[in-house]
Amino acid sequence: MTEPMQDVQPVTLSSQAFLILCRLYDGCYDELKQNEQLSEIVESIAGMLLAGVETLEKQEAKPKNITFPLTMQQAFFLRRLVVELLAHAPQGGEDRTAEWLQECLTALSGGGVSSNAPLS
């Protein structure tokens, strides 16, 4: 899937929110992959997230924030997925999953965290 460069947007998340997004995406990957119409976008997002995790693992000093590129289509798909995951996330208490998912939703909607530390 080749997208014009102007359709790619940088998304910045805290490292923890990025890792939570990766874990939750991995948890629903098999189910998403079963839909043939979604196969290409599901794979492209999985590849981008996996590359981000591999890059993080190689870094000695872990960055506070991560910036990664998403096409408009990938961002839209992830945003819809995060909205659904957020609806089922435990609220409050010790579990901060909902807080990190909200951060993901804000970043995928065009917001983001203040720092712009690239993943590369």
117 lies in some domain: no
42 lies in some domain: yes
pLDDT per position as a tens digit, 50-94 = 998 998 888 888 889 998 899 999 999 999 999 998 888 777 767
In 3D space, the residue among 10, 114, 9 whose CA is nearest the CA of residue 64 turns out to be: 114
116 lies in some domain: no
115 lies in some domain: no
102 lies in some domain: yes
Range of the domain at 93: 7-108
pLDDT per position as a tens digit, 85-119 = 888 877 776 778 888 899 999 999 876 443 333 44
114 lies in some domain: no
90 lies in some domain: yes
